[in-house]
Structure 1
Amino acid sequence: MRPDITQAPFGQLPDGSAITRFTLANANGLVAKIIDFGGVITELHAPGRDGRLADVVLGFDTLEPYRSDSPYFGALIGRYGNRIAKGRFTLDGQEVQLPANNGNNHLHGGDPGFDKVKWQAAVEGDSLRLSYRSRDGEQGYPGNLDATVTYTLTDDNELVVRFHAVCDRATPVNLTQHSYFNLAGSGDILGHLLLIDADAFVAIDAESIPTGELAPVDGTPFDFRSPRPIGSRIGEADQQLRNGQGYDHNFVLNKPGAKAMTRAARVVDPGSGRVLELFTEEPGVQFYSGNFLDGTLQGKNGPYRHRSGFCLEPQHFPDSPNQPAFPNVILRPGEEYRTESRFRFSTEP
């Protein structure tokens, strides 16, 4: 084991299974702490312009809240990130019914999804490899799915997340990483400057289900093609903002090719100078502005209040199994699901 990946106990599950926290560090002082329960990133320490480190992800100090109270803080999401309308879709002529765990709809793979299971962990060189077999019928999904996620913290200050999956029956697959970021380390995120390289976003109804429209961002509060404070227009009388109770929308990334690795987003905290850039092969990114945080969750640094974190979840579009015009999410036997995203940290004056 390399000296920059260490491990320590992080509690145990009710069945007695031990959970381990792995600490990845690079040559520049970045530190990422990841547990083999849900593949959760529990801490991510990055320097500001003054060189001081701050933990820039929301989370908990102990295991139990991740089991019972977490709104997907730092977790791996699967089999299907985001929502599927009424948990229902037709695949190869057969209707599939998934549990409705978000009102009338299916969200983030069900309960439990990949965020609440123990993954098999292995250190491979400078990477942490997590593997999980989702068995046929788990949360209603057809077929066995073997998923692998590899985390690597590079000396270029990138946290690289690589996904791989294979199956023995056709099944929808849309894996993502669901960290909540606050580049200041505390307070709200409304003053963070956000850029998203997207000319359109997926319009949603009052239940956050896509209408099928890829709506232009031009002239709307969803235009982040130039950097703007997250909070600058979040309170406008816009129906899409009302539907999401803020930003909780998938942005359609501008890409030269379907699998091109492109910069999806850039976020700056003006106070600390910390910068986060997301690069991804995915066609979309879900931007969520922490609308449902309400101060009731006690996190690492006290209560997490309204909009004290934001998410940038690289993924395919919501409800794609019911939206034939959206990019394909069906994985079939003999195919390989592969996708990579990179979270790059830096500073600016």
Structure 2
Amino acid sequence: MPGTEVRITHGPYTAVVTTRGGALRELRCGDRNLVVGFGPEGGVPDYRGVICAPWPNRLADGAYSYAGQSYSAAINEPERGSALHGLAIHQAWDIVEASTDRVVLGCRVPAGPGYPGSLELTVAYSLSDDGLRGTVTAVNTGTRAAPYGVCPHPYLVAGPAPLDDWSLELPAAAYLEVTPDRLLPVAIRQVEQDAFDFRLPRRLGPVRIDHAFTGISRDAAGLARVRVMDPSGSGVELEWGPEWPWVQVHTGDKPVGPDRLGLAVEPMTCPPDAFNSGTDLIHLEPEESHSAGWTIRAVDRRG
């Protein structure tokens, strides 16, 4: 569809980026899919690859207070009574610039009953020998301070085997327990001796995960990495910096239809419902900006 998506390439990597949700629609290394993709038309299933802003994950009842005023966002997850994944997923994104190996998309989130600030958002995707680099930037173009959080939403694909047979390495010492019905925060729990302890790589098996993790181990540069491997030796790695103290991991379980197609790995600047808890919430003053980046790369241990 001309004007609605851009294909970029570098070496063995190819990616397709769409104006629908600012999403990464496709990422391949050679003949391998590194993310669960979707078609060139229609909606974006399961929020695959979208940019979630100005809040990631769930906002309970779509309601919160900020700077003494109350705000109410539309509920788009009625079965759980939540405003899910922010406002940018509903906005029209534009192609700001495009070249062979880089594309930049932008959108505007206006102030209104659901949000106090006016945001200009851009997401830049570029390919190199190191894989796909994404960087999302928000600028508060309004006249008042605004709460802010963000995450990308890719579903990683390790290889041809079922997700249960993939191994996961997740360098997180703690996770956020959530209510079973609405998946809203309860308390921080340690992963030690828990089914969610993947600090050493091990097979996923039948475990069901839809939780935010924190207490993340990083290297000297502040980088953290989640690695997912297929038994064949192929795999994929997502790396993110200190701007993201949280990461949501979801095994893609669905009550009906095809499920567990990929592993959602979503670096987050704040946990679910942060507009109410205030945990790790970013406060963007007028004209202030915030940027955060991540990288997805192929891993191959096949002989």
TM-score normalised over the length of structure 2 = 0.89
Please give the per-residue CA displacement for 1:169-189, whole angstroms capped at 9, x wherever unaligned: 3222222211222222x5631
- Could you tell me how far 1:223 is from its partner in structure 2? 0.3
Aligned residue in 1 for 2:117:
143
SS in 2 for 1:190: helix
Deviation of residue 56 (structure 1)? 3.0
Please name the residue that 1:134 is paired with: 109
CA contact (8 A) 2:91 2:108 kept: no
Please say if residues 153 and 160 of structure 1, whose CA atoms lie closer than 8 Å, have aligned partners that are also in contact.
yes
In the TM superposition, 1:85-96 aligns within 5 A as 85-96=60-71
Residue of structure 1 in register with 2:139 after alignment: 166
* AA partner of residue 80 (structure 1): W
Counterpart CA distance in 1 for 2:286 and 2:225 is: 30
Question: Per the alignment, do residues 222 and 65 of structure 1 end up closer, same or farther by CA in structure 2, a change over 3 Å counting?
Answer: same
Q: Find the partner of 1:311 among 253, 264, 268.
A: 264
- 2:166 is equivalent to residue 182 of structure 1: no
1:26 maps onto 2:10 in alignment: yes
Please tell me the root mean square deviation across aligned C-alpha atoms, in Å.
2.2
Provide the residue aligned with 1:279 in structure 2: 240
Asked whether the 8 Å contact 1:293–1:308 carries over to 2, the reply is no
Match of 2:32 among 54, 57, 61: 54
State the alpha-carbon separation in 2 of the partners of residues 277 and 62 from structure 1.
24
- Give yes or no for the alignment of 1:117 onto 2:91: yes
Structure 2's unaligned 5+ residue stretches are none
Q: Determine what percentage of the aligned residue pairs are the same residue.
A: 28
Q: CA deviation at 1:256?
A: 6.3
Q: Is residue 2:296 matched to residue 1:321? A: no
1:240 is matched with none
Aligned mate of 1:288, from 225, 239, 250: 250
2:185 match: 210
**Aligned-partner Cα distance in 1 for 2:295–2:254:** 26
Secondary structure of 2:26's counterpart equals strand
Output the CA distance in 1 between the equivalents of 2:158 and 2:261: 10
Q: Deviations over 1:31-70 (max 9, x none)?
A: 11111222222221124xxxxx12232233331143xxx2
State the secondary structure of the residue aligned to 1:130: strand
Separation in 1 of the partners of 2:37 and 2:171?
Answer: 28
Structure 1's 24 and 71: CA in aligned 2 closer, same or farther, altered over 3 A? same
From 212, 229, 233, give the equivalent of 1:268: 229
Q: Secondary structure at the match of 2:61?
A: helix
What is the distance in 2 between the residues matched to 1:116 and 1:98? Answer: 12
Using the TM superposition, give the Cα deviation of residue 127 of structure 1 relative to its aligned residue in structure 2, in angstroms: 2.1
| In structure 2, distance between residues paired with 1:317 and 1:81 | 8
Asked if residue 201 in structure 1 is aligned to residue 162 in structure 2, the reply is: no
Q: How many residues align?
A: 294
Q: Distance in 2 between matches of 1:151 and 1:62?
A: 18
List per-residue Cα deviations over 1:192-220 (Å, max 9, x = no partner).
11011111011111211111x22100011
Q: Which runs of 5+ in 1 are unaligned?
A: 1-9, 11-17, 48-52, 235-245, 296-304
Deviation at 1:322, TM superposition (A): 1.7
- Secondary structure, aligned partner of 2:64: strand
The C-alpha deviation readout for 1:150-183, integer Å capped at 9, x for no partner, is 1111112x21111111112322222221122222
**SS in structure 2 of the partner of residue 115 of structure 1:** helix
Determine the structure 2 residue equivalent to 1:6: none
Q: Judging changes above 3 Å, is the alpha-carbon distance between structure 1 residues 63 and 141 closer, same or farther for their aligned structure 2 residues? A: same
Do 1:192 and 1:229's aligned partners in 2 also have CA atoms closer than 8 Å? yes
Measured in 1, the distance between the counterparts of 2:105 and 2:56 equals 18
Match status 1:153 vs 2:127: yes
From 198, 207, 211, the counterpart of 1:224:
198
Check the 8 A contact 1:275/1:348 in 2, yes or no: no
1:106 partnered with 2:83: yes
Indicate if the aligned counterparts of 1:182 and 1:188 stay in contact, CA closer than 8 A.
no
Q: Is the 8 A contact 2:53 2:149 kept in 1?
A: yes
Q: Secondary structure at the residue paired with 2:126?
A: strand
Change (3 A) 1:164 1:123: same
TM normalised by structure 1 equals 0.78
Mapped contact 1:82–1:107 kept (Cα < 8 A): yes
The answer on whether the counterparts of 1:320 and 1:329 sit within 8 Å (CA) in structure 2 is: no
Check the 8 A contact 1:150/1:161 in 2, yes or no.
Answer: yes
